[in-house]
Chain A
Amino acid sequence: MVNVPKKYLDEVLPNCWYNIVPDLPRPLPPPMDPPEASSRIELLKRILPRELLKQEFTVERFVKIPDEVREKYEVLGRPTPLYRARALENLLDAPIKIFFKFEGALPSGSHKVNTAVAQAFYAHAEGVGHVTTETGAGQWGAAVALASALYNLRATIFMVRASYDQKPGRRALMEFYGAEVVPSPSRLTRTGVEVLTKNPEHPGSLGVAISEAIEYALDNDFRYVMGSVLNAVLMHQSVIGLEAMRQLEVMGEEPDVLVACVGGGSNFGGFAYPFIGLKKRKMEFVAAGAAEVPKFSRGEYKYDFPDAEGVLPMLKMITLGRDFVPPPIYSGGLRYHGLAPSLSLLVASGVVKWVEYGEREVLEAARIFAKTQGIIPAPESAHAIRAIIDLARRAKDNGGRKVIIFNLSGHGLLDIENYREMMTKYRGP
């Protein structure tokens, strides 16, 4: 492993993003066109901003963050704080120190805006005035709405109809930033019309929403922005880990264990990859997933489509299959069938360990955190907190002091109604 050149870490907010691909333990299988079909790889040129594609396939260890993007990172409050969770430590009473990086401090409420800003900038820089995307629970949609506002872009966000109806708060947030929010399936695309013809009451799904957003971008020569999975997206998120590394250094701490929750893998990758790729020290890396979306325990490592319709190129990844329909859990951001190829590779080669938790355990962890540290975590992020609690219990049994750090990828203030429903649902007997 290489040392981080000092110029990249001079200030807490880095000048460069970090790409782990050159430092992976094995070659990363490339994207693949499906047999007997038109080239999905070629089609990417009409879907994604050119500069994003260039980043995706120009594998460089460090990529300079454009000044226009770094400036927006500062506007949004980067670097985000790194806290020590002393009250949680006291409650757990284990021989560990717990730190967390707080991405929920960003205005749209989660880490997602780190890549939304970069992608919106690249669309803007090539003269595209309009972007599209999909959103389930709304975290990603809110990030895109905010990023688009920053660069004066129009944004059309296809929101899964069930969420559109049930989560007026997130919808209002996106609209407040100026985005157009469309319930999916919609009548704006062929995919939507087809789905609605079969079932006018269709509640929508992330798969259909992605397909609608891509189709709408292709038809109108807009650009589609992607919330996770791409190497370039994980690279943009590396600001989280690079900042944390510097912040820990300033505090004189060296982590032993790093934990983050996993949907497509972007906050995990962004947080942990700089430590995995750039540090010589022996550390443990734990990815926390949802038991209801059991990609780690039941998924297969194989080529599959990242989207339900199969418009994008196939990727070698841990996947439950693109037809997998996740149950309606509250952690909308974890309801994804696949996993970023680089993280899939690291899991398959044993560098990253995993845990999966069910909703009941996650709710308990979220409440423990709220009652000790005061912050209401996003339900997604609460999966990481659950893992921390378990690690603390184990440390107590095994002895030995440990420094544990996790990424609190988002706050859960806009999920508070969901938490209330969860409290009713999981009330003890």
Chain B
Amino acid sequence: MKLLVAYFTVGYPTESKFVELLREAESCGVDAVELGIPPKFAKYDGPLIRRSYERARKVSANCWGLLREARKILGIPMIVLAYLDDYSEAFDDFLNRLCEVGADSLLLPDLLIDYVDSFEEYLEKTRDVGLTIFTNPSMPDKLIAKISPLSKLFLYYGLRPATGTSIPVDVVALVRRARQLVKNRLVVGFGLSPNDVVKVLKNGADGIAVGSLLIRAIEEGGIEEVSRVLKELRGVVDGV
């Protein structure tokens, strides 16, 4: 079965709605959630997700509490997304808190971009919680092939230069290249339009991840709209 992974920003749009969204996501058949901790600077994110971080920072200072809450209500895997840049100083503390809240894995979007020389070290440090590795098309083939089996749950492959942008790319070519290199489960995301989803799955991906699409749904129609979008995606994913 192909995977549907949903991204939410912790505390967005409000603390209580965030928790409700997670409940709804699981009931719509989402296989795993990624929960983004608002970073100081969302280097590799596009405008929508950046906006959600700003808003979340305003309405909530209770990130860890919310993650604990999320763990209580979620039966599906919960991957915490954070920029390493914010935690490289006190990384052990950060890991302790992740274990405490019961995260199933950690995703660091800047690890292989800004900390590639320390990759082994971080892999070792995150052994307990586990690391879902983020890759993109600008990474060397050799590196993608080497690290993908080390990734927990699946390997994440971001198609566009930043989340939520509609930069034209040849989805088919990109997914095929990644598929050749990745032997474990391959989940593809970053700016996926409904149109991209089918192409991504037909060309070998084991799942899709959506984020900006959901943020937009929250902005435009709240939880109901998110539910509608997720159910539709579930249908598409299962239909391929």
Say whether A and B bind each other. Answer: yes
Interfacial residues, chain A to chain B (CB-CB below 8 A): 21-33, 35, 38-39, 41-42, 44-45, 50, 53-54, 57-60, 313
Are B141 and A22 within 8 A (Cβ)? yes
Are A27 and B41 within 8 A (Cβ)? no
The complex places the Cα of A57 from the Cα of B138 at a distance, in Å, of 8
B148 within 8 A of A: no
B113 proximity list for chain A (CB < 8 A): 27, 29-30
**Can you pick out 11 interface pairs between chain A and chain B where the beta carbons lie within 8 Å of each other?**
A21-B137, A21-B140, A27-B112, A30-B162, A33-B46, A33-B50, A39-B47, A41-B162, A57-B137, A57-B161, A58-B173
B44 within 8 A of A: yes
B114 within 8 A of A: yes
Interface residues on B, range: 20 to 34
The complex places the Cα of A54 from the Cα of B167 at a distance, in Å, of 7
Are A27 and B139 within 8 A (Cβ)? yes
Are B167 and A30 within 8 A (Cβ)? no
B169 within 8 A of A: yes
* B:114-139 near A, CB below 8 Å: 114, 116, 136-139
B23 within 8 A of A: no
Are B174 and A58 within 8 A (Cβ)? yes
Within 8 Å by CB of A30, from B50, B138, B140, B177, lies B138
Which chain B residue lies CB-closest to A42? Answer: B165
Known contacts A21-B137, A42-B167, A59-B137; 18 additional CB pairs below 8 A are A22-B141, A22-B177, A24-B140, A26-B116, A26-B140, A27-B112, A27-B116, A27-B138, A27-B139, A30-B113, A30-B162, A33-B162, A39-B165, A45-B167, A57-B161, A58-B174, A60-B170, A60-B173
Are B161 and A58 within 8 A (Cβ)? no
Are A58 and B137 within 8 A (Cβ)? yes
Are A39 and B141 within 8 A (Cβ)? no
Are B168 and A53 within 8 A (Cβ)? yes
Within 8 Å by CB of B46, from A26, A41, A45, lies A41
Q: Nearest Cβ distance between residue A290 and chain B, in whole angstroms?
A: 29
B166 within 8 A of A: yes
Are A38 and B114 within 8 A (Cβ)? no
The complex places the Cα of A28 from the Cα of B143 at a distance, in Å, of 12
* B:149-188 near A, CB below 8 Å: 160-162, 165-170, 173-174, 177
